[in-house]
Structure 1
Amino acid sequence: MKITNVAGAATTLVAALVLTACGGGDPAGSATPASSAPAPAGATAPGAPVSAEHNQADIAFAQRMIPHHQQAVEMSKLATDRAGSDDVRRLATEIEQAQSPEMAQMRGFLAAWGAPESGGMHGMDHGGMDHGDMAGMMTPEQMRQLEQAGGAEFDRMFLEMMIAHHEGAVQMAQTELAGGVNPEARALAQEIVDAQETEITEMRGLLG
């Protein structure tokens, strides 16, 4: 009887160990599907579909805002080794990081609509042509002066020029909001208004 009890206990122990091993594998097995579930990243991914609905105001907004943003990016890059203030350098970096993706987004709009980027406008190479017909754009001479400045002088010129540049962008974005019909273009225009009005306030504060 004693041997039988020991054998029975051993059998029970083995069964318990088997059940424990099986039970220990279940959580890991159930966790695998959860951990491998795809993240919902497509909603805001670059290159998302663009609504076909658009009008001439939408096209003009993208065609004009691309070179406008490009000049702002060029101005911001100058701050890397010319700005005297860390605040100006930081702001310039933020402007560049915000507006470069927006340019890509607007190029996507135009491609989806089958519209050219230039819109038949000349002198958009930023290499010496005058953009005076576009709100807030700096002239080639103003850009040369900014390139030659440094330290506190650069900071002052950059802030004054970028305030005017942002005011022009806000004006162009408000024109899109008033006349455009494409939902993505209108959403971008509102983002530009909100972001650049905030930056205008910050830049005025830095000017004192």
Structure 2
Amino acid sequence: MAEMAEGDVKSFMVPMDKLMATMPMTSTGKPDADFLLMMIPHHQSAVEMAKVELEIGNDEKTKEMAQSMIDAQEAEIEDMRAMLKDMGIDTTSE
């Protein structure tokens, strides 16, 4: 998708493409684990998009929002990894 985008949109689409490539395609057999495993790359994509905003954005309020998103999403990713560990799901290969 990024290759079809133009201008700054292309910079934001690269993390989205990466997200799609890392999304799990097989089930663990545990719906809660599957949800978390799919949410981690979703959140990571948001972090990467927010980092692009910090690099190329001009509006300070938007950049502040991007930093808040990074902080919140990274904390949630760690929480999800801990939950998966408690379920016996290894996430070290991510």
State the TM bucket, normalised to the shorter chain: 0.5 to 0.7
Tell me, yes or no, if the aligned pair for 1:136 and 1:168 is still in contact at 8 Å. yes
CA 1:197 to 1:157, structure 2 compared with 1: closer, same or farther past 3 Å? same
Q: Deviations over 1:151-174 (max 9, x none)?
A: x71111111111111111111111
Tell me, yes or no, if the aligned pair for 1:180 and 1:186 is still in contact at 8 Å. yes
Q: Give the structure 2 partner of residue 157 of structure 1.
A: 34
Q: Give the structure 2 partner of residue 136 of structure 1.
A: 19
Q: Is 1:167 aligned to 2:48, yes or no?
A: no
Tell me, yes or no, if the aligned pair for 1:135 and 1:165 is still in contact at 8 Å. no
For 1:188, give the aligned amino acid. M
CA 1:166 to 1:182, structure 2 compared with 1: closer, same or farther past 3 Å? same
Instruction: State the Cα distance separating 1:184 from its structure 2 match.
Output: 2.1
Instruction: State the Cα distance separating 1:134 from its structure 2 match.
Output: 3.1
Unaligned regions of 5+ residues in structure 2, if any? Answer: 1-6, 86-94
Tell me, yes or no, if the aligned pair for 1:166 and 1:196 is still in contact at 8 Å. yes
Match 1:187 to one of 34, 39, 64: 64
CA 1:171 to 1:181, structure 2 compared with 1: closer, same or farther past 3 Å? same
Identity %: 39
Instruction: State the Cα distance separating 1:138 from its structure 2 match.
Output: 7.7
Q: Distance in 1 between matches of 2:41 and 2:64?
A: 23
Q: Deviations over 1:13-48 (max 9, x none)?
A: xxxxxxxxxxxxxxxxxxxxxxxxxxxxxxxxxxxx
Q: Secondary structure at the match of 2:17?
A: coil
Q: Distance in 1 between matches of 2:46 and 2:57?
A: 15
Q: Deviations over 1:141-192 (max 9, x none)?
A: x5xx78xx9xx71111111111111111111111110111111221111111
CA 1:205 to 1:190, structure 2 compared with 1: closer, same or farther past 3 Å? same
TM-score, structure 1 as length reference:
0.31
> Rg: which structure is higher?
1
For 1:136, give the aligned amino acid. L
For 1:179, give the aligned amino acid. I
Q: Deviations over 1:40-77 (max 9, x none)?
A: xxxxxxxxxxxxxxxx64xx39xx69xxxxxxxxxxxx
Aligned residues: 76
Q: Distance in 1 between matches of 2:37 and 2:57?
A: 30
Q: Distance in 2 between matches of 1:191 and 1:135?
A: 22
Match 1:178 to one of 55, 58, 74: 55
Tell me, yes or no, if the aligned pair for 1:135 and 1:169 is still in contact at 8 Å. no
